[in-house]
């Protein structure tokens, strides 16, 4: 495995290797703000010097950052490591109440913040006594008295504080943070193990690029998530890639960056891919009949063609992506196989990843194997895995598995047993070739009156095939009357597409009837006990996390309030 120094000296080595090459960049209203590997190194050292000498931070103190994705976060993370601090990424979309709950748990002494979040940061400083210093990340405004990263004195000579491989590098707070925040402690050993594991799939990615020394990556995921921090930041910098941050998720803005910067690769969530596919399909539907017929014939023939030929066949689509976009990693939620097949057919490879924050976070990657696209691929090199015979739960053992939950030993013991097996909470199957298939979550499982078990994900996969449904969430609901009072039944919460809502805008009863009929028709593909007994129609988008996962608990509360 790579030695410990690789985390602390990652930037040092890459500064020498790539120097003036762009490391991190973002588009602002004034144009592109770009940091070379050398520039990022200097900004890092300047901040580290300030933390060590001016603020005199002690080893193990926490540095939190509250910001939209931007290059300066890179300097915050590296400077935090150099100065002996623990980095706590925060979701800038959380409320003051939610952030106060998190910060009261980890008690940071330094809060790095973007201009857009200054007011929030100052209010948090009043709420949390441990916060001694708030530092602005981006360029200063003239009316601010706060220290600013860019205007700190140009002192670059700082002595790095030694850290053991077992010490904590990051505390990542997962969703559902109010009340009893759950901070995942990621050690340097965890990060090193993950970086080493990811070399294999990333080398496969690079092998498909013509110019392997000049790979441009577009980042659209928030940097408070470990998926983005580990892969989109540390791993990509380790390979010498140039990472560009998008400040807007509007398709036209993303396509603009892809065209301008000739993007080769992206990390995405399945919801984004589905949106992209639907926008392409919408354009195809608006084509003249003859052109549409030609496209459909080519789409069928493409199944038998090599990737290079597919890209020529669908050149107009690839030109919209900038002409260099070859592949992407999808993670954070299950990938719809039909979406993967669509992109494969037009010549774009999707690597589906699986993991959890607690596993630093990647466990496995499907390296574009269409034969097993319903699988999340084979485990990375460091992982041992097995299936619990009684529950079907996937258990893992690896140096990538977290130290534990911050200040919560009892909660940690619930998921990491005495033999160091981490209990994922996911129901899975493993085939003879060691491919992993995730079939559901234990905590989402619906247990019916007769003891039958239903996994919502299985029912959702069927209902999501409807051309009339925008979103689907399946969960258990408790009967409150009759002979089955107190027992669970299957409930489907449906958000129809806009055109359906428009069609029935003045008749809720007809809308409900239409949706129920569609659910009933699709449910014939399921065994009888898995079919929804209760169907709830909502007209607003379902509540989601920043990685576009539906918040089942919030949906349940929403339905209960109706």
pLDDT tens per residue across span 86-120: 999 999 988 898 899 999 999 999 999 999 999 99
Looking at residue 90, its pLDDT comes to 96
Q: Are 355 and 436 in contact (CB under 8 A)?
A: no
3-state DSSP assignment of residue 138? coil
Peptide bond into 361 cis (omega under 30): yes
- The larger pLDDT score, comparing residue 483 to residue 103, is at 103
Instruction: Identify the CA nearest to 257 among candidates 271, 244, 276, 267.
Output: 244
Local confidence band at 158 (pLDDT 50, 70, 90 cut-offs): confident
Query: What pLDDT digit, counting tens, does each position of 305-353 carry?
Result: 999 999 999 999 999 999 999 999 998 778 888 899 999 999 999 999 9
The β-bridge relationship of strands 349-355 and 362-366 is antiparallel
Instruction: Identify the CA nearest to 205 among candidates 244, 233, 239, 254.
Output: 239
Query: What pLDDT digit, counting tens, does each position of 362-372 carry?
Result: 999 998 777 88
Give the gyration radius of the chain's Cα atoms. 24
Please classify residue 150 by burial: count the beta carbons closer than 10 Å to its beta carbon, then call 0-12 exposed, 13-18 middle and 19+ buried.
middle
**Residue 221 backbone dihedrals phi, psi, to 5 degrees:** -95, 150
* Beta-carbon contacts of residue 388 (< 8 Å; ≥ 6 apart): 394, 395, 423
| CA 176 to chain CA centroid, nearest Å | 16
DSSP assignment letter at 152: S
DSSP 268-333: E-HHHHHHHHHHHHHHHHTS-HHHHHHHHHHHHHGGGS-HHHHHHHTHHHHHHTTS---EEEE-SS
**Residue 490 backbone dihedrals phi, psi, to 5 degrees:** -85, 125
**Tokens at 554, concatenated:** 């919030």
Predicted TM-score of the model (pTM): 0.85
Strands in 488-496's sheet, in edge-to-edge order, are 469-478, 488-496, 534-537
- Mean per-residue pLDDT of the chain: 90
Q: Which domains are present in the chain? A: 5-187 (3.40.50.12780), 269-440 (3.40.50.12780), 445-560 (3.30.300.30)
3-state DSSP assignment of residue 239? coil
Q: At residue 69, does pLDDT exceed 50?
A: yes
Looking at residue 252, its pLDDT comes to 86
Query: What pLDDT digit, counting tens, does each position of 490-539 carry?
Result: 999 999 999 999 999 999 999 999 999 999 999 999 888 899 999 999 99
Looking at residue 58, its pLDDT comes to 96
Looking at residue 143, its pLDDT comes to 63
Strands in 31-36's sheet, in edge-to-edge order, are 31-36, 22-28, 242-245, 216-219, 265-268, 327-330, 349-355, 362-366, 378-379
CA 407 vs CA 59, 107, 129, 180, 194: distances in Å? 17, 12, 19, 11, 24
Looking at residue 176, its pLDDT comes to 45
Instruction: Identify the CA nearest to 194 among candidates 416, 359, 366, 8.
Output: 359
Tell me what the mean pLDDT of segment 413-432 comes to.
Answer: 96
Distance CA 398, CA 250 (A): 38
DSSP H helices, 363-441, are: 409-415
Local confidence band at 443 (pLDDT 50, 70, 90 cut-offs): confident
Distance CA 366, CA 372 (A): 8
3-state DSSP assignment of residue 13? helix
Looking at residue 336, its pLDDT comes to 84
Percent of the chain with pLDDT over 90: 70
Distance from the first to the final alpha carbon of the chain: 54
Looking at residue 3, its pLDDT comes to 42
Tell me what the mean pLDDT of segment 151-158 comes to.
Answer: 91
Tell me what the mean pLDDT of segment 456-473 comes to.
Answer: 93
Q: At residue 7, does pLDDT exceed 80?
A: no
DSSP assignment letter at 403: S
Q: Are 456 and 492 in contact (CB under 8 A)?
A: no
Q: In 462-529, where do the E strands start and end?
A: 469-478, 488-496
Question: Comparing 22-26, 206-210, 215-219, 354-358, which segment has the lowest mean pLDDT?
Answer: 206-210
Q: Write out the H or E segment, with its range, that includes residue 135.
A: strand 133-136
Looking at residue 2, its pLDDT comes to 37
Q: At residue 284, does pLDDT exceed 70?
A: yes
Instruction: Identify the CA nearest to 24 among candidates 232, 278, 304.
Output: 232
- The larger pLDDT score, comparing residue 448 to residue 389, is at 389
Q: Write out the H or E segment, with its range, that includes residue 151.
A: none
Q: In 479-524, where do the E strands start and end?
A: 488-496
């Amino acid at each position: 495995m790579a030695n410990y120094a690789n985390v602390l000296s990652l930037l040092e080595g890459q500064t020498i290797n790539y120097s003036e090459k762009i490391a991190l960049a973002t588009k602002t209203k004034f144009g592109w703000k770009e940091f070379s590997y050398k520039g990022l190194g200097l900004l890092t050292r300047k901040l580290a010097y300030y933390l060590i000498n001016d603020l005199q931070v002690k080893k193990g103190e926490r540095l939190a950052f509250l910001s939209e994705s931007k290059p300066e976060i890179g300097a915050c993370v590296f400077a935090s490591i150099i100065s002996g601090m623990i980095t706590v990424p925060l979701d800038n979309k959380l409320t003051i109440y939610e952030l106060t709950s998190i910060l009261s748990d980890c008690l940071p002494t330094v809060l790095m913040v973007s201009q857009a979040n200054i007011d929030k940061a100052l209010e948090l400083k009043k709420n949390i006594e441990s916060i001694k210093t708030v530092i602005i990340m981006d360029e200063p405004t003239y009316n601010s008295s706060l220290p600013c990263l860019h205007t700190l004195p140009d002192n670059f000579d700082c002595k790095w504080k030694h850290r053991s491989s077992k010490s904590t590098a990051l505390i990542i707070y997962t969703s559902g943070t109010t009340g009893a925040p759950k901070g995942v402690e990621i050690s340097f050993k965890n990060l090193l193990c993950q970086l080493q594991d990811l070399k294999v799939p990333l080398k496969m990615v690079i092998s498909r690029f013509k110019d392997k020394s000049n790979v441009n990556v577009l980042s659209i995921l928030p940097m408070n998530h470990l998926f983005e921090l580990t892969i989109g930041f540390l791993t990509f910098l380790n390979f010498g890639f140039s990472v560009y941050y998008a400040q807007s998720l509007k398709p036209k803005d993303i396509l603009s960056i892809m065209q301008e910067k000739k993007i080769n690769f992206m990390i995405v969530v399945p919801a984004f891919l589905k949106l992209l596919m639907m926008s392409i399909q919408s354009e195809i539907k608006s084509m003249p009949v003859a052109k549409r017929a030609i496209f459909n014939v080519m789409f069928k023939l493409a199944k038998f063609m090599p990737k290079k030929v597919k890209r020529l066949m669908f050149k107009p689509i690839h030109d919209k992506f900038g002409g260099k976009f070859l592949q992407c990693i999808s993670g954070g939620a299950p990938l719809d196989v039909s979406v993967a097949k669509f992109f494969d057919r037009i010549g774009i490879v999707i690597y589906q990843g699986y993991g959890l924050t607690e596993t630093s976070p990647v466990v496995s990657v499907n390296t574009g194997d269409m034969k097993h696209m319903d699988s999340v691929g084979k485990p990375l090199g460091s992982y041992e895995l097995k299936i619990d015979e009684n529950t079907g739960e996937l258990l893992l053992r690896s140096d990538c598995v977290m130290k534990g939950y911050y200040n919560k030993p009892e909660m940690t013991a619930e998921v990491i047993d005495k033999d160091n097996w981490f209990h994922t909470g996911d129901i899975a199957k493993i085939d003879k070739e060691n491919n992993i298939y995730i079939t559901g979550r234990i905590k989402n499982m619906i247990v019916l009156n007769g003891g039958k078990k239903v996994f919502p994900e299985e029912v959702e996969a069927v209902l999501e095939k409807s051309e009339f449904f925008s979103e689907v969430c399946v969960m258990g609901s408790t009967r409150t009357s009759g002979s089955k009072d107190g027992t669970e039944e299957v409930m489907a919460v449906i958000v129809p597409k806009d055109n359906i809502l428009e069609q029935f805008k003045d008749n809720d009863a007809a809308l409900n009837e239409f949706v129920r009929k569609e659910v009933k028709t699709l449910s014939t593909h399921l065994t009888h006990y898995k079919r929804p007994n209760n169907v709830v129609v909502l007209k607003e988008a379902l509540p989601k996390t920043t990685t576009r996962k539906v918040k089942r608990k919030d949906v349940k509360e929403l339905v209960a309030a109706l």
